[in-house]
Amino acid sequence: MIVIYIILLLVSLLFYIQYEGAFSFYLFCFAAAYPIVFGALMLRVKHKLRIYFESAEQSAPKGSSVPVNIIIDNDSRLPVPNCDIIVRYRTEHGGRADVFRIHTPIFPNNTQVLTVRLSYRHYGTLSVELAKIRIFDMLRVIRFRIRVKGDRSISRVTVFPDHIPIENRINDYSELGLESEAYSKSKKGDDPSEIFDVRCYNEGDKISRIHWKLSAKQDEMMVKDYSLPITNGVLITADFSQLPSGSDGLDKADALIDAAAAVSLHLSEHETAHTLLWCSDNPDGYRTGKADSFESYTMTVRELVNDGTKSYAGSPADVIAGLSTGSAKYAHIIFLTSGFTDEMKQKLEDSGYAYRYTVLDTEIGAGQSYSDGGFVYAPLSVNAVAESLEDIAI
């Protein structure tokens, strides 16, 4: 369009030279002054214009169409005839970024909402970025670039696991004497290190539980109820180190996350404390998250999806071997992987980190399950995660 403007300017100049008069003069003045006048107007609009994403973080089920809203806030009295917005998005697995362009006018003294819909068929995070924003005059001769400051130029969409209902039996590990730092807020127990409640004495209460100091102040017998430790007996690990490349690896990663989320949600619904562990690129080489409610489950699984599906060389088997102190910290480790090896099995069993181990592997075929004392090995079907978990005693 700049070339066309130059041609129009030259034509108006020749017209002014050839034909004297007010009209030719005004036409030439208009053509010559156009970039100055409209440049000043567009510059004013530029300083009054804000373009950003409505939300920096969103969640969506796999395969769903996610609306991502772009807010255009024009606080000036001048319109923008043409605005080009280039949006770039990619998964945090890396790979090629996809780009699409939005063309829109911008109205004066107005806030507009542009909605683009994105979908992704695997778990993970889509990073959506306002890569370039430019505004133009009506002839597209004058242009200015709009810069978005801070994090408002990026929106992340986390593709979150669907709810896979399971009805597996949950074992009670409270009698194993595992260490616990958390106590039940709704049930009393026998741990004298924490007091659950203080109440009036009832016939049959133990003399050793009488709160003598408080009884003296209340002029009646007061009894201490001790707390019930919440045993964090289950460790769920997701091992992404053995995944193949390509779409097959992404499908298997989805199955590992589905299985981890299904078991974690089942435990959380029964208020059973547990821990999830996966390898990461932080200084420790791994991350953990504890869950015992729907809120803590959601937060931990979100972290797993955001972080764990990236490609890391380490395996949770190495982490567990390194953390081992020779005594069991968990009653049951559920190890989810894609390509379990004899070396991994040896590391888990030698660690003594748990009393029981259950390995679910996407690489083995149906009918190859086996049990060896406290060790269970079973297939994890990519297309039938719930069925693969049916016979697992948690």
Domains of the chain: 48-160 (2.60.40.10), 183-229 (no CATH), 234-389 (3.40.50.410)
Query: By percentage, how much of the chain surpasses pLDDT 90?
Result: 21
> What pLDDT does residue 196 have?
59
E strands, 215-329, are: 222-229, 234-238, 274-279, 286-291
| Model confidence at 392: pLDDT above 70 | yes
Of the ranges 88-97, 260-269, 372-381, the best mean pLDDT one: 260-269
> What pLDDT does residue 82 have?
92
> What pLDDT does residue 140 have?
82
Q: What is the mean pLDDT of residues 22-41?
A: 79
Mean pLDDT (the chain) is 81
- Distance from C-alpha of 313 to C-alpha of 297, rounded to nearest angstrom: 26
E strands, 107-244, are: 110-118, 124-136, 143-145, 154-160, 183-189, 191-200, 222-229, 234-238
Residue range 283-327, pLDDT digits in tens: 888 889 988 888 999 889 988 888 766 666 688 999 998 888 877
| Model confidence at 280: pLDDT above 80 | yes
| Model confidence at 84: pLDDT above 90 | yes
Contact, 295 vs 264, CB < 8 A? no
* Burial class, 273, CB count within 10 angstroms (exposed 0-12 / middle 13-18 / buried 19+): buried
> What pLDDT does residue 90 have?
82
Name the band, by pLDDT with cuts 50, 70 and 90, for residue 101.
very high
Q: Which amino acid is at 195?
A: I
C-alpha to C-alpha distances, 331 to 175, 336, 358, nearest whole angstrom? 10, 16, 11
> What pLDDT does residue 83 have?
93
